[in-house]
Amino acid sequence: MSAPSALRPGRRCMRRRAGDRPGDRHRRLALLLLACLPFAVHAQSSTVSGTVALSSQLVDRGQAVTPQTPILQGAMSWSFAKGWSVGASASVETRKPDRFAETLAQVARSWSLSPDWQMQANLVYYDYPGNPQARSFDRTEAGMAWIYRDVLTLGVAAIYPVGKTDHHLHGAADIGFHWPLPWHFSLSAGLGVTQATYSYYAYYGHGHGRYEYNRWDTYSYGHAGLLWNDGPWRVEVDRVATSGLPHRHGYPDTAPWVATISWSF
């Protein structure tokens, strides 16, 4: 369970890193999508869909990525035969529309296990180019999810950080619940736990150099809220909470409530 967001996969322009040449960040994003072209060639049919959304804040597994400001999001998805799909999305702060707050590219495969159970595997690349403090969120993530009647979702993920010097794998697990109510309303809730690596810097030589060290933390996160859905329109308001998440200087605080309105086509 990532943050309450209409554009999260299945279930965030690439940052330039040391040694990257101009254009490398865009090639990495394109390569993930191009890897899916063989599936598109062999697919007998495909479906294109999209979503546009406006959120009060961008939150990633209980952590705020942006300040508490309106976030405009857009996503496109291509679904092919035999359960394959590819997708991409981007988000911007409405007050800073000239730079991305988050981008992602995804490859996914879904299976039907029984009339009640489905399974999905996905590979996602996340990048947060709009905020230098969000470098630790850049990652490649491989996940598996099991879905029961669109009511209960169980997910696990292996996360490989790409935006810092520590490239050890760490994990996440979550459970999501969705219960329909009358008049197009639904209850939505979720709980999760994840390992996160935070980068800290120490300076030496009167500020002429620095070294980076990393700290591992395990924290839990969750949300509970109300959702309204009617045709292409969806409105969701969630109460967000975390436990064990350390405060980091310079990072925005997570709002206790996050609201999202979206339109799909």
Q: Provide the residue count of the chain.
A: 265
How would you label 198-216 residue by residue, b for 16+ Cβ within 10 Å and e otherwise?
Answer: ebeeeeeeeeeeeeeeeee
Helix (H, G, I), strand (E, B) or coil at 138: coil
The answer to whether the Cα torsion of 99, 242, 252, 135 is positive or negative is negative
| pLDDT tens readout for residues 23-71 | 455 455 555 555 555 544 454 578 999 999 999 999 989 988 889 999 9
Q: What share of the chain is helix, strand, coil (3-state, %, to 5)?
A: 10, 55, 35
In this prediction, residue 65 carries a pLDDT of: 85
| pLDDT tens readout for residues 75-100 | 999 999 889 999 999 999 999 888 89
In this prediction, residue 109 carries a pLDDT of: 96
Helix (H, G, I), strand (E, B) or coil at 31: helix
In this prediction, residue 121 carries a pLDDT of: 97
In this prediction, residue 129 carries a pLDDT of: 82
Low-confidence ranges of the chain (pLDDT < 50): 1-6, 9-23, 26, 39-41, 43
Q: What is the pTM of this model?
A: 0.76
How many other C-beta atoms can be found within 10 angstroms of the C-beta atom of residue 68?
15
In this prediction, residue 208 carries a pLDDT of: 56
**Is the distance from CB of 61 to CB of 1 less than 8 angstroms?**
yes
| Residue 156: alpha-carbon gap to chain centroid | 14
